[in-house]
Structure 1
Amino acid sequence: MAGQPLSLLVKRFLPKSLLGRSLLIIVTPLVLLQIVSAIIFFETHWDKVTLRLAKSVAGDTAAVVTLMRRFPGPENHDWIFHTAAIHFEFKTTFKEGEILPNQPPAPDSLLEDMLTDSLKSFVNKPFRLDTTSLDKNVSIEVQLADGVLNIVTTRKRLFSSTTYVFVLWMVGTSLILFAVAMAFMRNQVKPIRRLADAADDFGKGRASEVFKLEGATEVRQAASAFAAMRDRIRRQIAQRTDMLSGVSHDLRTPLTRMKLQLEMLGSNDDTQAMKDDIGEMERMLEGYLAFARGEGGENPEITDLSSLLHDVSEQARRLNARIDLHTEGRIDMTLRPNSFRRCITNLIENAMRYAEHISIRAGVRDDAVEIVIDDDGPGIPEDQRDEVFRPFYRLEGSRNQGTGGVGLGMSIARDAVQGHGGEIKLEESPMGGLRVWIRLPL
């Protein structure tokens, strides 16, 4: 961690959401401003106010000492103490004959420090302070010639309430500003979240509701651009589907006529070869249609994936396929059932051409469903695993044109998986052949 750059360390602790980062941008200067204000307040205002209050108490104490010196005798103590109680808020007593300790305790707070300096300046006699024994009062003992003068005054005379007012005002305004900033930023982030949800729904092939263009100008521009892009993509998909459907329909008519004419000509080697060619053309047309329907207008619905995999596996078993299927209970998720059924069917049929044993596993992992299809066939070389997803791409060698289709099966499978917001990968199987790994978000 010591070798990491400072920027990486900062990024680790930064909020990940836009709302969190926006609030951090707003709150950080506010906190710094409050800290600077507090420092300035306590270094200037607090020291000055405390010193002035301490000088006031020290001056009143010096006045009482002066009166006792000018009017000595116990007979004058009562009116002097009464005057001090009325005008100075002093509770005064005199302990005749007592002597203070030679070593008074050292001041341990700002209040004691200020009051000590002030009493030294005004009274100029030995004294002792006690600011801790009494909760709401402060005790001052002054050594006089014939005894000790004890003065008890309220702590309010030495403490300014503006400190509490300042702190409460600072904290209160900060909380109010933070609440206003949070409410404002939430409203600014909502349109971005709606745009993200709409993009996620569109990427997963879900029918997203029409969202309003709201928020800041930049957010409106992004939402408008996304809506225009979504409409263009939908229009292009529809045009491609319609074009392939129209072409296949137009080609089926002459192919049907050719099949009828061949049937009327009877059966021989030449007509059989032509029938095989026509059959191959029909299979190619079916592949084109399946590829076009892969991104068609089928609506998603809640589907039992376990049941779907079971149906496809049973259909393959009727064609003498040896399939081991294991699903972790019932798995309900939003799918286009026909599109995903074609995807799994293509993958199983692809494995059936080249393998004897097929294993299918499906289960929920965190917030997604994982499907793993393994076979014991020859597999696919690692450098060609990405190429097989290209339309009309066919491998040479064991997976050749004679045993394969038109090269659209893997493309249809990938389009179906990505149309559900998932991902598909090809890996080496523990069974020795090919592993197809599919992950679909719940």
Structure 2
Amino acid sequence: MRAAADRGTAGDRGATAGIAAPGLALRARPLARLLRVLVPRGLLGRSLLIILLPLVILQAVALQVFYGSHLDVISRRLAAGVAGDVGIVVELLSREGLREERAWIFRQAAWRLDLTLAFEDGATLGPPAQRGASLPLLPLEGDLDAALRERVRRPFDTDWQSDPRSVIIRVQLPDGVLHVEAPRKRLFASTLYLFVIWLVGSSLILFVVAALFMKNQVRAIRRLAMAAEAFGLGRDIGPIKPEGATEVRQAASAFNAMQARIRRFVTQRTELLAGISHDLRTPLTRMRLALAMLPGRGAAGGGEGQDDVAALTQDVEEMERMVAAYLAFARGEGTEQVVEADLVRIVEDVAARARRDGAEVAVHVPPEPLVMPLRQDALRRCIGNLLDNARKHARCIAVAVARVPRAEDEDGDARVGEAWAQVTVDDDGPGIPAEAREQAFRPFASFSAGGTGLGLAIARDIARAHGGDIVLEQSPLGGLRARVRLPV
């Protein structure tokens, strides 16, 4: 029973920990979101933050320690010195035997103590509320007030606003008010300004130097990213120049080598498939000729042999179509160069050709051209394949071109570029079930009796070579919608 109780207690602790862990995770999420908002997203900003944040914190701590200890002690001592001089003058003027020597005391204070004195006979200081007495706004004012209360021990007030170079101290004496004008340089040390200037100046110099160096490093990384993006879009920009830090140079060299290997692989594959197509067409042509030259069989000869010849001829023709389609699929990544072209014009041309083939196509395009970098022939093949598929299964086809904003990625950062160019092909056919739409893009996954199953595969291959993609959806017309998105 004791063991069971122990197990129960352990289970309770585990359950409590399981409940506490999600609670901690929920509390950490707002902090993570706040950090994501505050922290720069770019490499340059984050690098500068990593360099400068510890420096700023270190300098802030140094300034606080310096001001809170050394300068604080110096400020109190200087204030005590001024308050002591004022206290001596007040005591001298308060003595009965020295009141007649007031002028001599004023001259000695101006010469030896650097204090300018004036006396107002019969005057009195107002109450603290009328004198504007309040808590000091600066530590220096508080130090002086504390020293005057300790060493003068008479009613007084201070004026820091009338003269920017002096502090006016008024002290209540039995027969009047003593005005003391003390230079401000006696109350603070100029090393504070030098220290602050040194801190700020060194931070600015370090920031400028770090920004220049990091900008050069980030420029190399940004060029590498742009080259990778262009290569992914099928644009031939050639090898990039390695520059920047050693690691960035290694990455650029590796990218150049990878780019060359991929181009060599694509070229070799295309040439290999072209050779295979040529080699297969030769025996297929011989088989077609042999079937055509077979002696004809009339009615007496029976029709079974003719049916066999017709079936063989149909098989040969289907094999030739498959070879041609496979070669077109392999050349989908082809060597066609990217040029600036009008997508609206291309879609209109492909739709007009589909109408000539007997399709009923409605086109909805924006009035202004949509010029963007494209492989014109490849894109015509892409959209033509989509229209051909729709024509085989539907009566009405609608093609639309629009410019749509790009969606943001999971981290909240918009991808490169500002918008997508979208081409939609809708039909009123039977469509494709949602669970089978992705399978329709697989090569030779034909959904019609007379197709090779490469139309959608070639179309997606061309769209992805442009940096976009194709997705299949439910069409508003009741059939299938093929949505093509290309980066502008």
Q: Is the TM value for this pair above 0.5?
A: yes
Question: Cα distance, 1:33 vs. partner?
Answer: 1.4
What residue in structure 1 maps to residue 76 of structure 2? Answer: 51
**Compared CA separation, residues 115 and 307, structure 1 to 2 (3 A):** closer
Q: What do the CA deviations read for 1:344-388 (whole angstroms, capped 9, x no partner)? A: 111111111111111100121231200000011111111111111
2:419 is aligned with 1:370: no
Trace 1:48-197 onto structure 2 (pairs within 5 A): 48-65=73-90, 67-68=92-93, 69=95, 72-74=98-100, 76-100=101-125, 105=133, 108-109=136-137, 110-197=139-226
Q: What is the aligned residue count?
A: 435
User: What SS is found at the alignment partner of 2:333?
Assistant: coil
Task: Supply the AA of the counterpart residue of 2:482.
Answer: V
Which of 366, 378, 392 lines up with 2:444 in the alignment? 392
Trace 1:266-281 onto structure 2 (pairs within 5 A): 269=306, 270-281=308-319
Distance 1:99 1:302 in 2: 90
CA contact (8 A) 2:445 2:453 kept: yes
Distance 1:267 1:9 in 2: 85
Runs of 4+, deviation exceeding 6 Å = none
Question: Cα distance, 1:98 vs. partner?
Answer: 4.1
- Could you tell me which runs of 5 or more consecutive residues in structure 1 were left unpaired when the two chains were aligned: none
CA RMSD after TM alignment: 2.4
Which of 341, 348, 370 lines up with 1:331 in the alignment? 370
Identity %: 49
CA contact (8 A) 1:107 1:116 kept: no
**Compared CA separation, residues 106 and 386, structure 1 to 2 (3 A):** closer
2:422 is aligned with 1:383: no
2:42 is aligned with 1:17: yes
What residue in structure 1 maps to residue 359 of structure 2? Answer: 321
What residue in structure 2 maps to residue 294 of structure 1? Answer: 332
Task: Supply the AA of the counterpart residue of 2:331.
Answer: R
User: What SS is found at the alignment partner of 1:294?
Assistant: helix
Distance 1:175 1:10 in 2: 25
User: What SS is found at the alignment partner of 2:177?
Assistant: strand
Question: Cα distance, 1:281 vs. partner?
Answer: 1.8
Q: What do the CA deviations read for 1:168-190 (whole angstroms, capped 9, x no partner)? A: 22222212211111111111111
CA contact (8 A) 2:240 2:256 kept: no
Distance 1:128 1:319 in 2: 102
Which of 277, 280, 283 lines up with 1:248 in the alignment? 277
2:467 is aligned with 1:428: no
**Compared CA separation, residues 431 and 6, structure 1 to 2 (3 A):** same
Distance 2:176 2:352 in 1: 112
Distance 2:349 2:323 in 1: 25
What residue in structure 1 maps to residue 413 of structure 2? Answer: none
Moved more, 414-423 or 206-215: 206-215
2:54 is aligned with 1:29: yes
- Could you tell me which runs of 5 or more consecutive residues in structure 2 were left unpaired when the two chains were aligned: 1-25, 298-305, 406-418
Distance 2:279 2:127 in 1: 119
Distance 1:264 1:325 in 2: 48
What residue in structure 1 maps to residue 11 of structure 2? Answer: none
Distance 1:6 1:29 in 2: 20
What residue in structure 1 maps to residue 287 of structure 2? Answer: 258
Q: What do the CA deviations read for 1:77-110 (whole angstroms, capped 9, x no partner)? A: 3332222222322221223344556768465243
CA contact (8 A) 2:118 2:178 kept: yes
User: What SS is found at the alignment partner of 1:196?
Assistant: helix
